[in-house]
Every structure is written in structure tokens, then in C-alpha cells.
């Protein structure tokens, strides 16, 4: 069963919080977890705006409203902090995609589900989560060891998209003259790359969704 948003974040807190911090928080009632979450939220925002290379601890501290050295009370290094933030964005995207697709009407056909996945992907990125934008914008820039540790979670998302395209093709909703793998990679890549250029100056998220869905429909739908 897919984890909820809160379960994902709770898992990450438990997994990465230093034991000394967790014990101190429990004993004193200090808001250690709240500060830790504030740091993660700030990191997601800075990553989404500045990119991996441009993400500095000083900028994260400013967004989190604390002194930069305080970050090391919760995270051993910049790389550890960025890795957790990026993993959270990827894991949350997996959760949201699966939950919202599962909530579609039972009579939704495979192509409607595919177009809904396009909507879910874009609206979650730009209406809800700095974490998703942080991951999608920066995952290719991560050091190889971090990408390797996140590969299993990334594969889950890739499998979901593959299943959506395969179901639509099997149902006769997709043009037979197109290579299914190349088509899927092209569509998903175009969704992901919007994290690098889209801003509200280009229009509303709803307009972006409608345009992208029409692009997909026009390019791949069976005639």
C-alpha cells in the first residue's frame, strides 16, 4: 500500500534524524523535528529556484530563519541534506501519482488515465510541492552515488508511466506506427523539463495542463 504524504515525511525524519537530536527533542520537548522540517522545506525551495550548483547553506538558512551552522545540528553535510530533500520529492511524487490515479472513476479508459497522469504530474509540481520541482530539476546533476541510492524509487515512477502507456496502447488508444518506448520517454521528458522553464508569467497551471494534454493527444492518439 502506498504511503501517505505524512508517512513519507515521518519515515524520512525517523531514518535521517541523528539519535542525539531525537533523544534531546523527546526529553526536552524542544521543536527539533519542526526545525528539521523547516530546513528541508527551505532546501526544497532553494533547490527548485537555484538548482543544485546554486544551492548554498547560507540561502537555506535564510529561508529557514536560522543561522547556517545550526543546520549541522540536524544534517551532517550539505550533500546529506540535499539527498534527503531530493528523495522526499521523488517519493512524494510516487505517492501522489498512485493515490490520485487510484481515485479516478472506474470507467476511466486507459487514455483518460494517461492524460490524468499528465495533469497530476504538472499540478503537483507547480501547485503543491517545491520538493517535486527540486527533484525533477536537479536529479541529473546529482553525484553518481546519490543517484544510485535513489534509483529504486526512480524506477517505481518509471514503471508507473510504462504501465500507463502500455495499457493505452493495448486498448487501441495510441497510434500503432509509433515506438512506444520512445513515445513514453519523449512525453515524460517534456513534462519534467517544464520544471526548468515554467513560471506563472507563462500562464496558469491549468493552462499549462490543458496545452500539454492537447499536445499529447494530438501527437500520439489513435486516429
- Tell me the C-alpha distance between 86 and 132, whole Å: 8
The DSSP code for 221 is B
- Tell me the C-alpha distance between 198 and 220, whole Å: 23
pLDDT digits (tens, 9 = 90+) for 50-93: 999 999 999 999 999 999 999 999 999 999 999 999 999 999 99
Q: Are 7 and 15 in contact (CB under 8 A)?
A: no
- When pLDDT is averaged across residues 1-16 and rounded to a whole number, the result is 40
Alpha helix stretches (DSSP H) within 17-109: 19-28, 32-50, 57-64, 78-102
* pLDDT given for residue 7 in this prediction: 42
Instruction: For residue 135, give the H/E element and its range.
Output: helix 130-138
- pTM for the structure as a whole: 0.79
* pLDDT given for residue 129 in this prediction: 80
pLDDT digits (tens, 9 = 90+) for 100-156: 999 999 999 999 999 999 999 999 988 878 999 999 889 888 889 988 999 989 999
**Is the pLDDT at 27 greater than 60, yes or no?**
no
- Tell me the C-alpha distance between 139 and 99, whole Å: 23
CA torsion through residues 81, 83, 36, 40, sign = positive
- When pLDDT is averaged across residues 37-44 and rounded to a whole number, the result is 96
Range of the domain at 14: 5-220
Closest CA to 111 of 183, 175, 171: 171
User: pLDDT-based confidence at 8, cuts 50/70/90?
Assistant: very low
- Tell me the C-alpha distance between 165 and 156, whole Å: 15
CATH number at residue 193: 1.10.357.10
pLDDT digits (tens, 9 = 90+) for 197-215: 888 888 899 999 999 999 9
DSSP H helix total and E strand total for the chain:
11, 0
Average pLDDT, the chain: 86
**Is the pLDDT at 20 greater than 80, yes or no?**
no
Domains in the chain, number: 1
Amino acid at each position: 500500500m502506498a504511503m501517505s504524504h505524512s508517512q513519507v515525511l515521518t519515515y524520512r525524519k525517523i531514518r535521517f534524524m541523528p539519535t542525539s537530536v531525537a533523544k534531546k527533542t523527546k526529553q526536552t520537548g524542544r521543536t527539533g523535528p519542526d526545525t528539521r522540517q523547516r530546513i528541508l522545506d527551505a532546501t526544497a525551495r532553494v533547490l527548485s529556484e537555484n538548482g543544485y550548483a546554486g544551492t548554498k547553506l547560507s540561502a537555506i538558512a535564510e529561508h529557514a530563519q536560522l543561522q547556517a551552522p545550526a543546520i549541522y545540528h540536524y544534517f551532517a553535510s550539505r550533500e546529506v541534506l540535499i539527498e534527503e530533500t531530493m528523495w522526499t520529492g521523488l517519493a512524494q511524487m510516487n505517492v501522489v501519482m498512485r493515490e490520485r490515479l487510484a481515485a479516478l472513476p472506474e470507467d476511466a479508459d486507459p487514455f483518460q488515465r494517461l492524460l490524468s497522469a499528465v495533469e497530476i504530474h504538472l499540478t503537483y509540481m507547480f501547485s503543491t510541492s517545491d520538493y517535486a520541482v527540486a527533484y525533477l530539476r536537479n536529479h541529473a546533476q546529482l553525484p553518481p552515488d546519490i543517484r544510485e541510492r535513489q534509483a529504486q524509487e526512480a524506477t517505481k515512477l518509471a514503471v508507473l508511466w510504462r504501465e500507463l502507456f502500455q495499457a493505452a496502447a493495448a486498448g487501441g488508444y495510441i497510434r500503432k506506427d509509433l515506438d512506444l518506448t520512445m513515445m513514453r520517454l519523449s512525453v515524460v521528458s517534456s513534462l519534467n523539463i517544464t520544471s526548468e522553464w515554467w513560471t506563472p508569467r507563462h500562464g496558469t497551471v491549468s493552462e499549462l495542463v490543458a496545452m500539454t494534454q492537447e499536445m499529447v493527444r494530438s501527437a500520439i492518439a489513435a486516429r
